[in-house]
């Protein structure tokens, strides 16, 4: 069997994709429910910090977008031999990590600024641009650091076991991103509430 056909059978066949992703998707559904539980527990923070609720869907979305793409870049680099599945300093890996974390910081600031002005344009109360930015940045940085480590470990471990990292990093990035972002957002809101 030609090498390309072997690759397709191992990584791109319908049965291999379903076998690699279906159990993970079930776990992701359960973890996604946990993110909802965390949001439910934030009722007091959401009431005390007008405008915070506007940040929630956008923060959740950006975690999945940024770190899903990060996981995809790792998967491609592993398949192409640009990085090795080893936890050691590698320029290609470090550049990808720096880009993901940098994007997370930039988008957290942009998100907070836009959220503040959208809230005001709708005639609603906002806690202010500085507190919203602080909450968004803390949540973005904390969840980003944890997600970076998680995605690297999963991509490397999956690749070593013959699992296509693209099949596992995307669902994990979105679901773990939701859970981590909600926990980090709750923590950030409590920190800001303690300061203002």
Assigned token pair, 88:
């050691």
pLDDT of residue 167: 79
Of the candidate ranges 45-54, 163-172, 183-192, the one whose mean pLDDT is the lowest: 45-54
Into how many domains does the chain fold?
1
Whether this model's pTM surpasses 0.85? no
Q: Could you give the 3-state DSSP secondary structure of residue 55?
A: helix
* Start-end of H helices in the chain: 3-7, 14-41, 43-48, 52-80, 91-121, 129-160, 165-195
pLDDT tens figures, 151-173: 999 899 988 988 888 878 888 88
Rounded to whole angstroms, the Cα distance separating 152 from 150 reads: 6
pLDDT of residue 2: 58
pLDDT band at 125 (very low <50, low <70, confident <90, very high): confident
Q: Which residues contact 155 (CB under 8 A, 6 or more apart)?
A: 71, 74, 75, 78, 85, 165, 168, 169
Looking at the chain, the whole-number percentage of residues with pLDDT higher than 90 is: 24
Q: Which domain range does residue 19 map to? A: 3-195
Q: Could you give the 3-state DSSP secondary structure of residue 86?
A: coil
What's the rounded mean pLDDT across residues 74-86?
A: 89
What's the rounded mean pLDDT across residues 2-15?
A: 62
What's the rounded mean pLDDT across residues 121-134?
A: 88
Rounded to whole angstroms, the Cα distance separating 83 from 91 reads: 9
pLDDT at 14 over 90: no
Give the CATH number, domain containing residue 145. Answer: 1.10.357.20
């Amino acid at each position: 069997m030609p090498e390309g056909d072997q690759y397709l059978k191992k990584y791109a066949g319908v049965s291999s994709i379903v076998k690699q992703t279906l159990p993970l998707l079930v776990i992701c559904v359960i973890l996604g429910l946990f993110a909802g539980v965390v949001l439910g527990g934030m009722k007091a923070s959401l009431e005390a910090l007008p405008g915070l609720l506007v940040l929630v869907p956008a923060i959740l979305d950006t975690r999945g977008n940024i770190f899903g793409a990060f996981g995809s870049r790792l998967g491609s680099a592993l398949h192409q031999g640009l990085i090795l599945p080893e936890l050691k300093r590698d320029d290609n890996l470090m550049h990808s990590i720096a880009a993901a974390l940098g994007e997370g910081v930039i988008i957290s600031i942009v998100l907070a600024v836009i959220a503040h002005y959208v809230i005001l344009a709708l005639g609603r109360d906002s806690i202010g641009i500085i507190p919203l930015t602080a909450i968004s940045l803390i949540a973005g940085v904390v969840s980003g650091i944890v997600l970076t480590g998680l995605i690297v470990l999963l991509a490397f471990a999956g690749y070593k076991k013959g699992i296509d990292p693209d099949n596992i990093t995307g669902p994990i990035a979105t679901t773990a991103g939701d859970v981590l972002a909600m926990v980090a957002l709750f923590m950030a809101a409590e920190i800001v509430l303690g300061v203002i």
